[in-house]
């Protein structure tokens, strides 16, 4: 039988290791897999299973990946085993035959493991001779896989890439690059995986292997164990992408030999390998600085945004934590009473979500948080604290008052000089620090209670508050007003003429006394100037002014 070459699908070929738990499903469903790999040692004695594999061979290309040649054995190769392998290869006509750069036989004792070799000239001579024997017997080229390593020999005088390059030159063999083994060995032996790949003879590579590994603590150190018992890790996928950039038209094989999952999981790993290879094959696209900064901004602000797509290496989390922590602290500085009332942990959660939705749009953190009260008002988690949004509105208004300077106040004499016969059309300019806020809750008392660390009796919640917020020598002052006077002052501060403001106050209180209210406002110094109309008042109840 002649080998069936791997087809040239629209993607680079990706095969799966066929293991006993999946054979029945594969025979029944015939999944769309580019090729299957088997360990020949499993079918030398099991003739029943071999008949199944012969049937499978009619539908799929096969590769043989041996673990028993012991190519590094100083005793030479087992001729009986080599003959069995030749018979199997002739029967199945695999597209690839491979084994490992290792040894497992000494003095006819089989040790059932892939043991490491010293990389010396003596080892090179022995391995090259054994490869030549194997290739002559099989009448075909074989591929040699780089091993996973947990030790190295003190008398090594060649690096592993140098050793493999010399084998290729001496024997004409090909190479199977196991990317997981590179990562595992680099971690365990302390070398740089990228530098290893830079030195690797890629022109001889004809197949790639991918598999999982697990971490173990041995003798006080973290060691990576090449157990083929889990999904490929993110670090190995990244290394695989680097390998794919260096190769073209090379097949990849997903290995999974322990803790074997359902077949669907292997297909998902297959799809991931295809996706990585496809991304590598795409023409390089230049990311503009604007695009890069937009991606970084999304990852810095968004708590669920991944960073894997960013072309970065290092500790991105430091920048992310700096941005989020500084903005959370900025909000806490403006809304300390809110934080005290709901608790720091809940406040931090609210702040984090607010930052995602409403990131700052100016470089002044003292001006950040204008939309925080409305955010809290719409937040379902705050429904049990119905006054919290109004407390936040009060704190925002107070923080604005604290930042605004006060001008000279309008005097009664100045008012009289400008009123003349047009008193009803007089409009007033409020001091920059003055604003007004109404609430159905006693938010001034709640605010004071929270600022005093909750000392004393908590205020009752059945008392509405109509507040004038101003700046004084001690910071921010809150002045409670009757509703009629509140509406009178609020409208004047928002550009209403005297007649319009007075009508609104009389609606609230028919006994409202305009001259008394005007003298009171002048005494409190809430106006900086006045002029004859027109009125510019527009109602906006949700906005404190």
Same domain for 490 and 360, yes or no, is: no
- pLDDT bracket for residue 542 (50, 70, 90): very low
484 domain-assigned: yes
Q: What pLDDT does residue 483 have? A: 96
Strands 251-254 and 14-17: parallel
In angstroms, rounded to a whole number, what is the distance separating the alpha carbons of residues 295 and 277? 23
Does residue 259 share a domain with residue 174? yes
Of the chain, the percentage scoring pLDDT greater than 90 comes to 71
Give every CB contact of residue 264 below 8 A, 6+ residues apart in sequence: none
User: Residues 378, 422: one domain?
Assistant: no
Considering only 65-74, 259-268, 320-329, which range has the smallest mean pLDDT? 320-329
Query: Looking at residues 281-304, what average pLDDT do you find?
Result: 77
Q: Degrees (nearest 5) of the Cα angle 133, 136, 137?
A: 85
Same domain, 497 and 526: yes
**Residue 253 belongs to a domain:** yes
Q: Which domain holds residue 441?
A: 400-532
Does one domain contain both 352 and 498?
no
Q: Residue 310 pLDDT more than 80?
A: no
Number of folded domains that form the chain: 3
CATH number of the domain encompassing residue 71: 3.20.20.150
Check pLDDT > 50 for residue 543.
Answer: no
Domain boundary among 385, 417, 436: 385
Instruction: Compute the distance between CA of residue 436 and CA of residue 500 in angstroms, rounded to an integer.
Output: 17
DSSP state of 304: T
Closest CA to 540 of 388, 433, 436: 436
* 453 φψ region: left (φ > 0), alpha (ψ -120 to 50), beta (else): left
Are residue 372 and residue 480 in the same domain, yes or no? Answer: no
Cα distance between residue 325 and residue 127, in whole Å: 59
Kind plus residue range of the DSSP H or E element containing 221: strand 221-225
What CATH number is associated with residue 443? 3.90.930
pLDDT at 395: 96
Lowest mean pLDDT segment, chosen from 276-285, 416-425, 508-517? 276-285
Note the helical H segments in 119-204: 121-138, 160-171, 179-189, 193-199
The reply to whether omega before 534 is within 30° of 0 (cis) is yes
339 with 425, same domain? no
pLDDT given at position 536: 86
pLDDT for 440 equals 95
- Residues 526 and 431: beta-carbon distance below 8 Å: yes
In a domain, 293, yes or no: no
Asked if residue 539 belongs to a domain, the reply is no
Same domain, 133 and 224: yes
Token pair belonging to 106: 């000494």
The Cα–Cα gap between 181 and 149 comes to: 8
On average, the pLDDT of the chain sits at 90
Residue 346 within any structural domain of the chain: yes
What number of CA atoms fall less than 13 Å from residue 29's CA on the CB side? 10
Any domain includes 70:
yes
- pTM equals 0.56
Q: Are 300 and 276 in contact (CB under 8 A)?
A: no
208 part of a folded domain: yes
Binned at pLDDT 50, 70 and 90, residue 291 comes out as confident
Same domain, 102 and 66: yes
Using the 3D structure, point to which of 230, 258, 281 is the last residue of a domain. 281
pLDDT digits (tens, 9 = 90+) for 429-462: 999 999 999 999 999 999 999 988 765 567 788 8
Q: Which of 391, 408, 407 is nearest to 399 (CA)?
A: 391
* Same-domain check for residues 148 and 62: yes
């Amino acid at each position: 039988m002649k080998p069936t070459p791997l087809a040239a699908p629209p993607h680079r070929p990706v095969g799966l290791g066929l293991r006993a738990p999946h054979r029945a499903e594969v025979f029944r469903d015939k999944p769309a897999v580019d090729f299957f790999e088997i360990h020949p040692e499993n079918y030398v004695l099991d003739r029943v299973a071999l008949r199944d594999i012969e049937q499978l061979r009619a539908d799929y290309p096969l590769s043989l990946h041996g673990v028993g040649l012991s190519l590094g054995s100083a005793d030479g190769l087992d001729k009986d085993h080599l003959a069995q392998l030749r018979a199997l290869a002739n029967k199945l006509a695999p597209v690839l035959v491979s084994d490992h750069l290792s040894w497992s036989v000494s003095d006819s004792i089989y040790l059932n493991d892939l043991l490491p070799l010293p990389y010396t000239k003596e080892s090179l001579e022995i391995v090259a001779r054994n490869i030549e024997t194997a290739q002559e017997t099989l009448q075909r080229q074989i591929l040699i896989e780089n091993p996973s390593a947990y030790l190295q020999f003190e008398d090594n005088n060649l690096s592993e890439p140098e050793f493999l390059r010399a084998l290729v030159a001496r024997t004409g063999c090909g190479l199977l690059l196991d990317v997981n083994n590179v990562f595992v060995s680099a971690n365990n032996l302390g070398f740089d995986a990228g530098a290893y790949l830079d030195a690797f003879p890629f022109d001889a590579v004809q197949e790639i292997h991918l598999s999982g590994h697990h971490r173990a603590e041995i003798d006080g150190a973290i060691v990576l164990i090449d157990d083929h018992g889990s999904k490929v890790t993110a670090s190995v996928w990244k290394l695989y992408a680097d390998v794919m950039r260096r190769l073209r038209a090379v097949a990849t094989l997903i290995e999974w030999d322990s803790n074997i999952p359902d077949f669907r999981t292997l297909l998902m790993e297959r799809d991931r390998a295809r996706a990585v290879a496809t991304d590598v094959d795409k023409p390089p696209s230049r990311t503009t600085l604007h695009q890069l900064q937009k991606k970084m901004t999304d990852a810095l602000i968004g708590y669920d945004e991944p960073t894997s797509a960013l072309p970065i290496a290092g500790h991105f989390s430091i920048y992310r934590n700096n941005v989020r922590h500084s903005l959370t602290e900025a909000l806490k500085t403006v809304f300390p009473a809110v934080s005290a009332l709901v608790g720091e942990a809940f406040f931090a959660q609210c702040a984090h979500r607010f930052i995602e939705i409403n990131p700052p749009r100016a470089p002044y953190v003292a001006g950040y948080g204008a939309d925080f009260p409305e955010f809290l008002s719409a937040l379902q988690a705050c429904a049990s604290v119905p006054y919290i949004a109004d407390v936040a509105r009060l704190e925002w208004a107070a923080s604005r008052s604290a930042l605004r300077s006060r001008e000279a106040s309008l005097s009664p004499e100045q008012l009289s000089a400008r009123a003349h016969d047009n008193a009803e059309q007089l409009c007033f300019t409020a001091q920059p620090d003055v604003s007004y806020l109404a609430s159905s809750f006693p938010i001034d008392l709640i605010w004071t209670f929270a600022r005093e660390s909750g000392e004393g009796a908590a205020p009752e919640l059945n008392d509405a508050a109509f507040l004038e917020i101003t700046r004084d020598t001690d910071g921010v002052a809150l002045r409670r007003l009757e509703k009629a006077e509140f509406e009178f002052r609020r409208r004047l501060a928002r550009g209403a003429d005297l007649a319009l403001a007075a009508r609104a106050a009389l609606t609230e209180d028919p006994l409202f006394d305009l001259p008394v209210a005007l003298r009171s406002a002048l005494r409190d110094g809430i106006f900086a100037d006045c002029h004859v109309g027109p009125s510019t008042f527009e109602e906006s109840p949700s906005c404190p002014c």
